């Protein structure tokens, strides 16, 4: 069984046996080797936030470390070490090819981690505008360049067609994350793992 098949099996097992306990889901990704996770601020749930990590069948309770509503960035912490993580890139060039990852709402698409291709088509002070399929559940997911570095995280979609998914969207810029990482006790022990191992499912509500 390859790594991706194993990951999809774990996600399906979790959702089919435990989904009744949660009212919302988003995507997140590790940004350090000692359990720090980046996601979208609008994924916040005042009651409870749990994180399902690839390769683990039970979720980890998460603590909110930083939440910036204006830039739609949130950093969580779980009690886990030696986590593979994404490096961040602050190079934003229009036309750059991107790949976005996320766990879409299983009521809209099939279970498991999905990847979407896209491009940078615009830039503002706080946002990156992309052409990419974006919808419920994908919020907070990493969007990476050809060097497998994160340029931003999924914030919102627009220009929707006849479904709940959009063909364009906004990314919170990776430099918004970098502002906060310097003040946190993050550790960076490199592990050569596939991108799938660095992405997590974030569950909220009870």
Domain definitions of the chain by residue range: 3-85+179-204, 97-174
> What CATH fold (topology level) applies to the domain 97-174?
Thrombin, subunit H (2.40.10)
Q: What's the pLDDT tens digit per position in 133-185?
A: 777 788 899 999 999 999 999 987 665 444 455 667 888 999 999 988 888 99
Q: Report how far residue 139's alpha carbon sits from residue 88's, in angstroms, rounded to the nearest whole number.
A: 18
Who has greater pLDDT, 110 or 199?
Answer: 199
Q: Report how far residue 143's alpha carbon sits from residue 134's, in angstroms, rounded to the nearest whole number.
A: 11
Note the CATH number of domain 3-85+179-204.
Answer: 2.40.10
pLDDT value at position 107? 56
Residue 194 · residue 3 · CB < 8 Å: yes
Q: What's the pLDDT tens digit per position in 97-141?
A: 999 998 876 555 556 788 889 999 999 888 999 988 777 788 899
Q: What's the pLDDT tens digit per position in 50-65?
A: 999 988 888 999 999 9
pTM over 0.95: no
pLDDT value at position 150? 96
One fold for both 3-85+179-204 and 97-174? yes
């Amino acid at each position: 069984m390859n790594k991706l098949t194993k990951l999809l099996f774990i996600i399906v097992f979790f959702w089919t046996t435990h989904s009744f306990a949660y009212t919302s889901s988003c995507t997140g990704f590790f940004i350090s080797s000692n359990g720090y996770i980046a996601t979208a601020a609008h994924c916040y749930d005042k009651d409870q936030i749990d994180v399902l990590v690839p390769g683990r069948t039970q979720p980890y309770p998460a603590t909110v470390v930083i939440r910036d509503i204006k830039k739609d960035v949130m950093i969580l912490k779980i009690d886990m070490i030696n986590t593979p993580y994404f490096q961040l890139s602050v190079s934003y060039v229009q036309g750059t090819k991107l790949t976005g990852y996320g766990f879409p709402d299983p009521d809209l698409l099939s279970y498991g981690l999905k990847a979407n291709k896209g491009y940078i088509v615009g830039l503002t002070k706080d946002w990156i505008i992309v052409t990419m399929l974006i919808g419920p559940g994908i919020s907070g997911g990493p969007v990476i360049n050809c060097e497998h570095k994160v340029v931003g995280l999924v914030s919102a979609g627009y220009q929707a067609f006849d479904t709940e998914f959009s063909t364009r969207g906004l990314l919170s810029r990776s430099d918004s994350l970098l502002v906060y990482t310097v003040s946190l006790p993050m550790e960076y022990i490199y592990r050569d793992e596939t991108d799938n191992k660095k992405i997590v499912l974030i569950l909220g509500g009870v």
